[in-house]
Amino acid sequence: MIINIILTIILFMILVIPHEFGHLVAAKKMGVKVNEFSAGMGPALWQKQKGETLYSVRAVPLGGYCAMEGEDATDDEANVPDNPRAFNNAAWWRKLVILFAGAFTNILVAIVTMIITVTIIGMPVNTLSKVSPDGPAAEAGLRQGDKIVSVQGEDVHSWSDTMSVLNREDGKRPIKVEVLRSGKTREYSVTPVASEKEPGRYVIGIEAAVSHNIFRGIYYGTVTTWKVNAAMYQALGQMFSRGVSAGDVAGPVGLVSIVDKTRTAGLINLLYLVSIISLNLAIINLLPIPALDGGRILFVIIRKISGGRITDKMESYVHLAGMMLLLILFVFITWHDITGLIK
């Protein structure tokens, strides 16, 4: 249990610190003063002033922050209204860049970890690593090392393309398979047979070689991340359309349980979990909820359109109310996770 808690904290910090670091880099590039960048919350364990920014490591390893000048300004803060380097006085497009930077960094983390995962696992390619001796492919003349270039007249550029065409077949007719062997293309007619392991599916007795090429990893890692991202948005929409229940979300306690199950399944699954949670963090932060980056982005747009009818103080109070609601939600989810473990 202790190992799982430590891993969960490390995982949480790996995801949160890059998010805040994204805000830090963007703020400095946009000319906004950053007063403090902190890893962790609570009492300071270590601090160092570098230039105009104080860098801190704090006692509670749950979160972090990038405190910008005038970010939560009120009319009582006399140093903000005339300060050109305060966040609230920055141009609207500069604010958007800074606010988007956190989620953008989380997306980069998700892509990188997915690329590492895909590269380690390897991607199946159209080159055959094995042809079952008694299978239809071997009987037709296919050999180990052949590279499939088309199936039923359709060009196939990946193993998923190949399987997509093969899985459409019902075994009632021969399949034309064109392969590249020793620099020459050859065409074979293969009749699928019913799979013994998967009822209703027809196979020809071939297995794909696996490539650990980093460039393939970059391509498929990025594509996989994009597909997962799209699936998450779809799932989020379904959750809100049917109503969100406590069982649809998990807090820190629930995350400990997830990490426990993932850790026992191996490093690859843990890396995949990092990628998924990093994407989750990006998506959640971009929701138009006060106190979240998405809520602040919404206010930047509304204030730009409304022409200054909303003051800094009004916006600060709305974000404060949003933070209170998020804290209540956090406590509720944590309580639900704890009671779930007890049961």
Give the model confidence (pLDDT) of 127-156 as tens digits. 999 999 989 999 999 999 999 999 999 999
Q: Are residues 138 and 111 in the same domain?
A: no
> How far, in Å, CA of 182 to CA of 187, rounded?
14
Is pLDDT larger for residue 336 or for residue 210? 210
Least reliable range by pLDDT among 158-162, 166-170, 303-307? 166-170
Number of domains in the chain: 2
Do both 116 and 144 map to the same domain?
no
Instruction: Render pLDDT for 16-64 as a digit per residue (tens, 0 to 9).
Output: 899 999 999 999 999 999 999 999 999 999 999 999 999 999 998 878 9
72 with 36, same domain: the answer is yes
- Domain-ending residue, one of 171, 186, 211: 211
Which pTM value belongs to this model?
0.75
Please identify, among 161, 190, 211, the residue that sits at the C-terminal boundary of a domain.
Answer: 211
Residues 111 and 157 in one domain: no
- Clarify whether residues 312 and 324 are in a common domain: yes
pLDDT of 296 strictly over 90: yes
Would you call 20 a catalytic residue per the annotation? yes
CA distance linking residue 110 with residue 120, whole number of Å: 15
Number of neighbours of residue 19 by Cβ within 10 angstroms? 24
Residue range 188-230, pLDDT digits in tens: 999 999 888 888 788 899 999 999 988 888 887 888 887 777 7
Hunting for tokens 């392991």 — which residue is that?
A: 197
Domain at 196, CATH number? 2.30.42.10
| Range ranked top by mean pLDDT from 119-123, 144-148, 253-257 | 144-148
Statement to judge: residues 252 and 269 lie in one domain = yes
| pLDDT for residue 78 is more than 50 | no
Last residue of a domain, one of 153, 186, 211: 211
Catalytic residue among 20, 169, 178, 315: 20
Q: Which domain holds residue 170?
A: 123-211
Helix and strand tally (H, E) in the chain?
9, 10
Q: Which segments of 243-311 does DSSP mark as H helices, in order?
A: 252-264, 267-285, 293-306
Could you tell me the two tokens for 95? 């604010």
Long-range CB contacts (within 8 A, 24+) of 257-261: 257/4, 257/337, 257/341, 259/4, 259/7, 259/8, 259/11, 260/1, 260/4
